[in-house]
Structure formats: C-alpha cells, structure tokens
Structure 1
Amino acid sequence: MIEEQVIGIVGGMGPESGIMLCNYINSLTPVTKDQEHLSMVLMSFPKHIVDRTAFLDGKTRINPAFQISKVIKKLESAGATIIGIACNTAHSSIIFNEIKKDLKKRGSTLKLLHMPQITCDILGKTYPKVKRVGVISTNGTYKSKIYESTLKERGYEVILPNFEFQNDVIHKMIYDADFGIKASPNIRTKEVKQLKNKTLDFFYKNNVEAIILGCTELSLVFSENPSEIKVIDSTMSLARALVQEASVVNTKNNEVRTLYTL
C-alpha cells in the first residue's frame, strides 16, 4: 500500500497568495487526468493572523506564529504531511522559530518547508553564474534580513535600496490602503504599475543580475518577467519544492518512489 503525502498550505497572508500557490502546484504537476493531481489542503484564516510586518515593527505584541501554528495543527488533523506557509515575512526567525518550537512541543511529524531558503536554492540551480542579486519584499522581510543573510552566506552580493526607497516605493506598492496590492489583489492599479517600474529601474541602474520576489503578493503583478533581468518568484519556488516533496511516496515495503521530478 502506498502512503500518500498531502500538501498543507497556510494561506490568508494575503488570501490571494495561498490561492496562487495552489494554482502553481497544479500547473507544475504533470498529469493527464484529475486523479493524478496531488492531494492538497488550503486553510485561510486572515482575520486570525496579525500582520507579520506590524509585529516585526513593534506595532503589535502578538506574535503571528501562535495563530499560524493553530492553522498548521488544523492542517495536520485534516491529513496534511507537508506544510508550506504562503508568506515570506512569516519566515523571519522570531516568527518561524516559534512555529517550529510549537511543532516540536506537540511531537508533530509534519515536514515544514522554508520558503526563503528554497527560493535561494532554486536561484543557485537556475542561474549558477549570477552573483549580484536584488530582493523585493515587505518592510518586515527587509528589516529581518531573511533573504539578505541567506544570500550573503551563499556568497552573493546583495543589492537593496535604502530604507526610504524601500518604505516609500516597494512597501507602499504592497501595503498602500488605497491602491496597494493587498487592497486590490485582482486589479493592477496605475499607481502599483508606476511603483513597480520605479523599483525595476532601481535594480537596472545598480546592475543587478537577478531579482527575488520576496513577497508572495508580488507574484500577482510580476507575472510577466522583464526581459532585461532574471526573476525568481518565491511563490513558484515553494510550489516546486512542495510538488517535489509530495511526489515522494512510501510503498508497503518502506521503499521510496518519486512520482514527479522537476
């Protein structure tokens, strides 16, 4: 008998990101009929998970890790064996380590994937000659240096804007209450397009060879990659890793078999 791996996705950060991750997983799975798709559970409880950047900025003392852990527990009860969190900022050490601590305390056997590390892995495999890398992210990810430290450990030269540009251009593109991606996930507002172009122009002028989309919301507006610069989408990277992990099954003789190789 084959032991099935079930993908569990923590959504709601924002809600469209979890849906996009599911869509990427489906698009990456080589199938000819419904029954060949991977089993997947998405749970999205946006009201219950405080904003990650707000927590990292000290605007709330509530660590979102606690509610994320509760969602993971629900996913495990629903049969999930592999977990992906559809939010880069949730992988900052003060949040992610608390989640891992809770899983260990519960004796959970879930496999929890780390989106930024996976994204950097895929960057290296896809573009082995790239050395100058830029990161587009929320203020929370920017300040916690999730990507910056991981990339530097791997020998990359990391190019980031100063905080004024980060806050007034990149973070605003994502968070602005009137026109930002979070406020209008299904509408490409002219303001977002302008800030996107301004962001790309910064990296062009700084001779960046590749850009990491270090916020899951960015997948919604960077669907068409600029031809002059390489782009690594963290949401797509996590989807690839989840498909790879979920395609490894155990047979009744405890043998391991891989269904799909990406």
Structure 2
Amino acid sequence: MSEVRPGGSPSLPDPALSALHGAPSPDERNAVGVLGGLGPYAGLDLVRSIFDETDARTDQGHLPVTLVSYPNRVPDRATWLADPTAPSPLPAMMEVLRRLDDAGCAVAGVPCNTAHAPALFDRLRDGLLADGRDLALLHIVDAIVARLAEVAPDAGTIGVLATTSSIENRLHQIGLEAAGLSALVPDAAHQAAVQNAIYGPTGLKAESAPPRPQARQALLDATDHLIERGAQAVILGCTELPLAVPEADRGGVPFVNSTRALARALIRATHPGKLRQP
C-alpha cells in the first residue's frame, strides 16, 4: 500500500520511485524515451504515434513513455551543422538523453531528421557510450527504410521532402542507396519552397497547430513535382511535415511519415509483441 503524506496525497510505492532515486533495475528498464523540443510539436506527435501504433485495449496496455522537452535549451541543429562555430546543440541533447536513461528508458528516439546527420548523431551515440549509459539511440533513417518495406515494398524510386540541411548532407539519400533504392530530391525552386514551409515566417516552426494553408500547399506542390519525376513513394523527411500532411498517400503514391516510422521502430525495439500490424 502507498504511504499517505502529511499533505494528504499518497506517495508512490518504492519500486515506482527507484528510477528517480537511483539506477533502474534491469526489469524496470523498459520505457521508451523521446528527446523532444526539436520542435516541440514533433515530440508530442511522436508520443501520440507511439500510442497509435501500440496494440492496446486498456490504459494499462500502453507502453511506458518518457518525453523530455527543453526547446529553449537546444540550439538549431541545421545552423550548427552548417557552421560548427555556432552554438552547439550537443550538450543540451546529451543532458536530455542522460535524463531519459536515468528514468529507466531502454531506447530513445529523436523526432528531428536533421539531428541524425552523422556529425551530430554519431557524437550523441559516442557520448552515451563514453558515459557508460545503457540507453540505445535509434536512427530515424533506419526506421524510415523499415517503414518503406511495409507501405511501399515494390517502390524503387523514393522522393525525399526534408530540410535543405538534410538534403545537402544527403541524410536520407545515403540510407536509401544503402538499401538498394534510388533517392529523388526536389529541384532548387521546390526545395526552397519546402525549406520556407518549415522555417519561414508562416512555416511549420512558426505555426503548426494548425499549419498555415500556404505551407501545406508548398509541400503538396513539391510532392506532385517528385511524383511527376517518377517517385513511387515520398518520405516526409522532417518531423514537422506530417503535421501539415497527415494523409497516407497522394494520388495512390504512399507517404512515409518519418515520425510514424520512428514510433514503430521504438516499439519494435522494446515491446515487439505490442506493435500494431500494418
């Protein structure tokens, strides 16, 4: 039974507090961690996607999830990748990952495609290893490739909608090519419109609940452009994009929602029996 404190509210039983007062025991290390705040709605959308992709019929059937979101502490990832003298997001991101590990998370996901560029992501993984942390950090492009096999198993040419930073760093292209797929990116004009739909004054970083119609239209125009050039599936390769384009497909050409892909990968890594079948 839980103890009642003088203020009248019951305290949690000791096992429930152990992750907060010390290292979780192995049987407690089963939560899914989310490094949020990159941007904030993307973190919330990932948590919702985890719930949506879990095969559960009761409250208790859902997975333990820890979201830590400190958007004011994490500098922009694309800015730092373009200019390493700019404020680095690494220290704040590492601090959040340590907190997720301390909370008993077995695995963590970062709902920001740009953060998975090797110059940043590899340092996060190396930092966890150097700290002796047990937390496993999943790569979002691996999750996207796995999701492609589910929603578009016969597709060979894959369109990519992403930030200009991700496109220039060939973040998705490298992963797709390693899987034997061809990557197709927008031309300069459409890419500029996609970037503006994310970072512009009426873009998704500024307004995502709800998104501005012009931001959504720019993304749909870029999608049509990729389909006209032969894309058989289109990756929504920025975790802001599904907020404006929630559809499963465009004229029969499937979208691959990177947030949903990462959610499924996190469930598969921790509670595979709870993964909802596509």
Question: Scaled by the length of structure 2, what TM-score is found?
Answer: 0.85
Larger radius of gyration: 2
The structure 1 residue matched to 2:78, chosen from 53, 58, 61, is 53
Letter in 2 for 1:192: A
Look up the match of 1:188.
Answer: 211
Letter in 2 for 1:183: A
Residue deviations 1:178-227 (CA, integer Å, cap 9, x gap) = x1011001023132133123212211220210001110000101112323
Look up the match of 2:256.
Answer: 232
> Is the contact between residue 88 and residue 214 of structure 1 (CA under 8 Å) also seen in structure 2?
yes
Distance 1:83 1:2 in 2: 16
Where structure 2 has 5 or more consecutive residues not aligned to the other structure, the ranges are: 1-24
**Secondary structure of the equivalent of 1:133?**
strand
Distance 2:117 2:133 in 1: 21
Where structure 1 has 5 or more consecutive residues not aligned to the other structure, the ranges are: 249-257
Distance 2:157 2:89 in 1: 32
Identity %: 29
Letter in 2 for 1:189: R
**Secondary structure of the equivalent of 2:240?**
helix
**Secondary structure of the equivalent of 2:250?**
coil
Distance 1:161 1:31 in 2: 39
Change (3 A) 1:218 1:259: closer
Residue deviations 1:26-45 (CA, integer Å, cap 9, x gap) = 11112221111100100000
Distance 2:126 2:106 in 1: 17
Letter in 2 for 1:142: I
Letter in 1 for 2:96: V
The structure 1 residue matched to 2:126, chosen from 88, 96, 101, is 101
Letter in 2 for 1:107: G
Letter in 1 for 2:250: P
Letter in 1 for 2:123: E
* Pairing 1:246–2:278 present: no
**Secondary structure of the equivalent of 2:105?**
coil
> Is the contact between residue 120 and residue 150 of structure 1 (CA under 8 Å) also seen in structure 2?
yes
Distance 1:2 1:183 in 2: 41
Residue deviations 1:224-246 (CA, integer Å, cap 9, x gap) = 23233111111000101111222
Matching of residues 1-262 of structure 1 within 5 Å: 3-4=27-28, 5-58=30-83, 60-166=85-191, 168-177=192-201, 179-224=202-247, 225-247=249-271, 258-260=273-275, 262=277
| Residue correspondences, number | 251
**CA RMSD between the two structures:** 1.8
> Is the contact between residue 145 and residue 175 of structure 2 (CA under 8 Å) also seen in structure 1?
yes
**Secondary structure of the equivalent of 1:81?**
strand
> Is the contact between residue 66 and residue 99 of structure 1 (CA under 8 Å) also seen in structure 2?
no
Question: Scaled by the length of structure 1, what TM-score is found?
Answer: 0.90
